[in-house]
């Protein structure tokens, strides 16, 4: 094959032309997204269906969702490097790559979403220390740098790159100190995941979003960090599963998968209990003190009903939690996969609710519900990072030793293929 020299030693990869075709197909979707991106940059945000009632819409949801599911990176890193859960070494590289994709996507979407992108740096230079978004910007940027640093060793381990002694030693040394970065990453993630929850929770003018809390941090701060840590691994496992299906190989051993699933399950369960307590308090204490009944937020409109609350908390929260803490359902690939998918949906739904439902709910007694459907430009630019992620995973998988267990898990099959 054309690129044999780049493929990790002993690994089997599909034919280069097939690979290129795949890249091109996904690349076409990516280019569609790039076109939409340029439309937004040059024509302005009127290319979207956002309006004065929907200042935060699909993009912000995508940002929050992608960061939440990217939480698998920091949490897995924390577990592996700080809590020394060694089995996770089999999935940590991939978690980092997923995290890298998620965070670079978030930054890209933000660059498109703000009205004056050339002034984006004001958030650093003219920071308002009271704003949750300031915290998000700083920690997100720093954490992206951390993810980059965590990703680099894997890149340096490419067969050809690794031949360069400098890079070989650099990679080795970086691995040695990775714990520091993992700790830094976890610290930063705690804050920016939380601050994203804080973005919603501090809005005392929006009873649907507002939460009481601890000192300056509304409860949503902690719930967001917790849910990112809980559901992020689900996303890591889900993408792993998809990659395994596409490549036709087993890439991570069951032991690691089940371990991560179990940890995730317990995180989900404890999170959902906290979430239920928070929801009940908010519904029966906080919002009545602001003059609202719970039903106000779930009726008299064409979309948001109690179904969304029940789906998020019960179907996509309690259910996956229970499925993953219970050994038999966890170790059964079908139920585990169902649990993982429900989990990912659940966290995405939570982020949707905490961005879009807030915008939709009327606060003034004479105001009305606002509903919103994204424009194709918004959809294209949201799919853009997904396409980019697919391409990056494809390239990384093809050329980098992402999965330490790849060879051992596929030996018989590969050997058989060779014979």
Partner 1 sequence: MVIDLDKCTGCGACMVSCMSENNVPFKEDESDKKLSITWMRVYKLTNGKSFPEAEIVYLPRPCQHCGGIGDHGHSPCVSVCPATATDYGYDTGIVSQIYTRCFGCRYCMGACPYHARHFNWWDPKWPEGMENYLSPNVSPRMRGVVEKCSFCYHRYQLAREQAIVEDREIEEKEYQTACTTACPAGAIVFGDLNNPAHKVHQIVKPDPHPDPMNHKVVGKSRNPKVFRLLERLGTNPKVYYMSDREWVRKAGDNYLKGEWENVKTHHGASSSHG
Partner 2 sequence: MKIDRRSFLGLGLGAAAGVALSPVGVKLTDDSSIWTQNWPWTPVPEDGKITYDRSVCSLCPGACGISVKKINGRPVKIEGLDDYPINNGGACPHGISGLQYLYDPARIKTPLKKNGNKFEKISWDEAISLVAQKLGEIRKSGTPESLGLITGADSGSMAQLFERFMDAFGSPNTYNMPSLESNLALTAAALHGADRNLGFDLDHSDFILSFGAAIIEGWGSPVACIQANASRRERKAKLVQVDYRLSNTANAADKIIAVKPGTEADLALGICAVLLAKNLIAGDVNTSAFAAMLAKEYTPEKVEAITGVKAADMEALAMEFIKAKAPVAVPGKGRGDVGQSLREFAAVQALNALADRLNKKGGVFVMYPADYLSFSENVMDDAAKQGASKAKLAGSVNELVDKLEKDGGLSALFIYNANPCYALNNPEKVKVAMDKVGFKVSFSSFMDETALRSDVVLPASIFLERLEDVVSGGGLAKTVVGLCRPMVKPIFDTKHPGDALILLAQAMGDSIAQSFSWNSYDACLEQVTGKIWDTLSGDGYVVIDDKPPVGTPATDFTFLASAPKAAVPMGEGDYTLVPVDKMRLAVGSMISSPFAVKIISDKVLSGKYSVVEINPATAGILKDGDIAVLKTAMGKALVKIGFNEGIMPGVIGMPRGLGHAFNNPYVAGKGVNVNDLIGPVIEPGSGLDAAFGIKATLSKA
| Region 139-198 residues binding partner 1, contact defined as CB under 8 A | none
DSSP 8: P
- Between 161 and 276, CB nearer to partner 2: 161
**3-state secondary structure (DSSP) of residue 51:** strand
- Binds partner 2 (CB under 8 A): choice among 83, 121, 303, 306: 121
6, 107, 134, 187: residue in contact with partner 1 (rule CB under 8 A): 134
Residue 164 interacts, among partner 2, partner 1, none and using kind-specific CB cut-offs from 5 to 8 Å, with partner 2
Nearest CA-CA partner of 189 in 219, 228, 151: 228
Among 239, 188, 176, smallest CA distance to 402 is for 239
Q: For residue 384, give both structure tokens.
A: 């853009």
368 makes contact, choosing from partner 2, partner 1, none, with CB < 5 to 8 Å by partner type, with none
**204 near partner 1, rule: CB under 8 A:** yes
The DSSP symbol for 18 reads: H
Take residue 28 and report the two structure tokens written for it: 């076409």
Query: Out of 43, 119, 169, 327, which residue is the one contacting partner 2 (CB under 8 A)?
Result: 119
Out of 9, 42, 125, 302, the residue judged to bind partner 2 by CB under 8 A: 125
| Site string (141-180) toward partner 2, x via CB under 8 A | -----------------------x-x--------------
Q: How far is the CB of 165 from partner 2 (least distance, A)?
A: 9
Q: How many angstroms separate the CA atoms of 123 and 322, rounded? A: 41
Q: Rounded distance, CA 140 to CA 228, Å? A: 14
Q: Which does 53 bind (CB under 5 to 8 A by kind): partner 2, partner 1, none?
A: partner 1
Q: x/- site string to partner 1, residues 273 to 292, per CB under 8 A? A: ---------------xxxxx
- In the chain the first and final C-alpha atoms are separated, in Å, by 19
Q: Is 302 in the site for partner 1 (CB under 8 A)?
A: no
DSSP structure string for 256-268: HHHHHHHHHHHHH
14 sits in the region (left: phi over 0; alpha: psi -120 to 50; else beta) called beta
In whole angstroms, how far apart are CA 287 and each of 155, 284, 306, 326, 333?
A: 50, 7, 16, 36, 42
Q: Return the one option of partner 2, partner 1, none that residue 363 interacts with (CB less than 5 to 8 A, by type).
A: partner 1
How crowded is residue 47: how many other Cβ atoms within 10 Å of its Cβ? Answer: 20
Q: State which of residues 207, 218, 232, 321 lies at the interface with partner 1 (CB under 8 A).
A: 207
Residues interacting with partner 1, by CB under 8 A? 44-46, 50-56, 113-117, 119-120, 122-123, 126-128, 130-134, 137, 199, 202-207, 288-293, 296, 358-359, 363-367, 370
Q: Which residues are near partner 2 by CB under 8 A?
A: 116, 118-119, 121-122, 125, 164, 166
């Amino acid at each position: 094959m054309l690129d044999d020299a780049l493929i990790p030693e002993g690994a089997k990869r599909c034919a280069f032309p097939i690979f290129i075709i795949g890249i091109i197909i996904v690349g076409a979707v990516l280019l569609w997204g790039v076109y939409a991106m340029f439309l937004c940059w040059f024509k302005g945000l009127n290319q979207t269906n956002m309006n004065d009632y929907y200042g935060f819409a699909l993009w912000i949801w995508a940002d929050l969702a992608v960061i939440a599911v990217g939480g698998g990176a920091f949490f897995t890193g924390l577990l592996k490097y700080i809590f020394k859960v060694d089995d996770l070494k089999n999935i940590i590289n991939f978690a980092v790559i997923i995290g890298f994709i998620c965070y670079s996507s978030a930054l890209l979407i933000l660059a498109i979403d703000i009205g004056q992108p050339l002034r984006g740096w004001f958030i650093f230079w003219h920071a308002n220390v009271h704003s949750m978004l300031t915290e998000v910007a700083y920690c997100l940027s720093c954490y992206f740098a951390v993810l980059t640093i965590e990703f680099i060793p894997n890149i340096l381990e490419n067969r050809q790159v690794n031949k360069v002694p400098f890079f070989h030693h650099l990679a080795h040394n970086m691995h040695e100190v990775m714990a520091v970065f993992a700790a830094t990453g976890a610290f930063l993630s705690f804050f920016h995941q939380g601050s994203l929850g804080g973005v919603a929770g501090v809005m005392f003018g929006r009873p649907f979003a507002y939460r009481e809390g601890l000192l300056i941090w509304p409860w949503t701060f902690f719930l967001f960090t917790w849910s990112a840590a809980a559901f992020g691994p689900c996303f890591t496992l889900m993408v792993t599963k998809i990659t395994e299906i596409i490549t036709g190989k087993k890439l991570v051993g069951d032991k690691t998968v089940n371990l991560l699933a179990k940890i995730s399950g317990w995180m989900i369960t404890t999170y959902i209990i906290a979430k239920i307590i928070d929801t009940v308090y908010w519904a029966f204490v906080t919002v009545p003190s602001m003059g609202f009944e719970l039903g106000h937020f779930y009726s008299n409109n064409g979309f948001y009903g109690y179904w969304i609350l029940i789906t998020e908390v019960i179907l996509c929260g309690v259910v996956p939690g229970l499925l993953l803490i219970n050994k038999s359902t966890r170790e059964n690939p079908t139920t585990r996969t169902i649990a993982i998918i429900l989990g990912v949906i659940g966290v995405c739904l939570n982020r949707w609710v905490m961005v879009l439902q807030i915008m939709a709910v009327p606060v003034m007694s004479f105001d009305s519900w606002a509903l919103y459907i994204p424009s194709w430009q918004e959809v294209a630019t949201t799919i853009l990072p997904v396409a980019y992620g697919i391409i990056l995973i494809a390239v990384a998988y093809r050329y980098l030793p992402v999965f330490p267990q790849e060879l051992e898990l596929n030996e018989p099959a590969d050997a058989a293929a060779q014979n």
